[in-house]
Amino acid sequence: MLLVMPSTGKIGIIITGDPIAAIASTRGDYGQIIANTVGNAWDGDYVSWDARGDLPVPCPTVAGIIITGSSANVPDRKPWMLKTETWLRAQVGEGIPTLGICFGHQILAQALGGEVQANPRGRAMSTVDVTVTSNGPLFEGLDSSFRANACHIDSVIRLPPGANTLAHSGHDDHHAIQFAPRCYGVQFHPEFDGDIMRAFVTARSEPLIAEGHDPARLYEQASDTPQSASVLRHFVQRVVTAS
């Protein structure tokens, strides 16, 4: 059983995109969904900044950083992405505990010297099996293979110098990465439950059909993923709080 230690500072959530309307209207933005998933694993406050307009900002009281997912694509190299990458390099260099989710995972990889491109295996959508290949604070106590929800087109195809792959799937070679001693990324969405995943499958049904996928099968495949959700709480308890 993990003890929740008294927290200092705030967790900064870097917003890089928005949930689909059906989810935003009932569950809030990604910051709210992440905070709800973390639950009582964090007894401190949160602060959110939108990478598309707010960064760079000073963050002297931030205990940790979580970077959200997005429908944007890192390979597009838009100005706000380049600015965010510069800002993230500084935070990681300062040793601030950092976790990137999906797009956040990818932009960390690109910022730190890796490469992100469209996955040649195509789009990942719905619940997948993730296999842990290197244990650590995020995965301690979890099964060696667990279910996670995925929703992405791009993937990390080349690791930054010094980074290590922690988990993979049949679709992604780098489903989880440790970039630095207190900096991690996960390609899956630990904050997605089955309802959120099914809503995304429904919203993306047209491109899924165009790409040769069966949305009905993917909808049925989507499920809650409690072990995946615990990865987010482990980051807060074992990386942020332990720093």
Q: Is the pLDDT of residue 7 over 50?
A: no
Q: What is the pLDDT of residues 51-61, one digit of tens each?
A: 998 776 666 67
Q: Is the pLDDT of residue 166 over 70?
A: yes
Other C-beta atoms lying within 10 Å of the C-beta of residue 3: 6
Q: What is the pLDDT of residues 41-82, one digit of tens each?
A: 999 999 999 999 877 666 667 899 999 999 999 999 999 999
Tell me the pLDDT band of 3, cut-offs 50, 70 and 90: very low
Given this model, what pLDDT does residue 242 score? 84
Q: Is the pLDDT of residue 1 over 50?
A: no
Tell me the pLDDT band of 131, cut-offs 50, 70 and 90: very high
Residues near 163 by Cβ (< 8 Å), separated by ≥ 6? 109, 112, 114, 177, 178, 179, 180
Q: What is the pLDDT of residues 205-225, one digit of tens each?
A: 999 999 999 999 999 999 999
- SS3 call for 48: strand
Catalytic residue among 102, 105, 171, 213: 102
**Whole-structure pTM value:** 0.94
Catalytic residue among 105, 174, 189, 213: 189
Given this model, what pLDDT does residue 59 score? 63
Given this model, what pLDDT does residue 8 score? 57
The overall average pLDDT reported for the chain is 93
Q: Is the pLDDT of residue 16 over 70?
A: yes
Q: Beta strand 10-15 with 154-158: parallel, antiparallel or unpaired? A: unpaired
**151 classed as catalytic:** no
Cα angle: 22, vertex 235, 200; to 5 degrees? 20
Q: Is the pLDDT of residue 24 over 50?
A: yes
**152 classed as catalytic:** no
The yes/no answer on whether domain 10-193+226-240 falls in CATH 3.40.50.880 is yes
Domains of the chain, by residue range, sit at 10-193+226-240
CA dist 183 to 8, 28, 235, Å?
Answer: 19, 26, 10
Catalytic residue among 59, 175, 191, 213: 191
**102 classed as catalytic:** yes
Q: Is the pLDDT of residue 181 over 50?
A: yes
Distance CA 175, CA 155 (A): 9
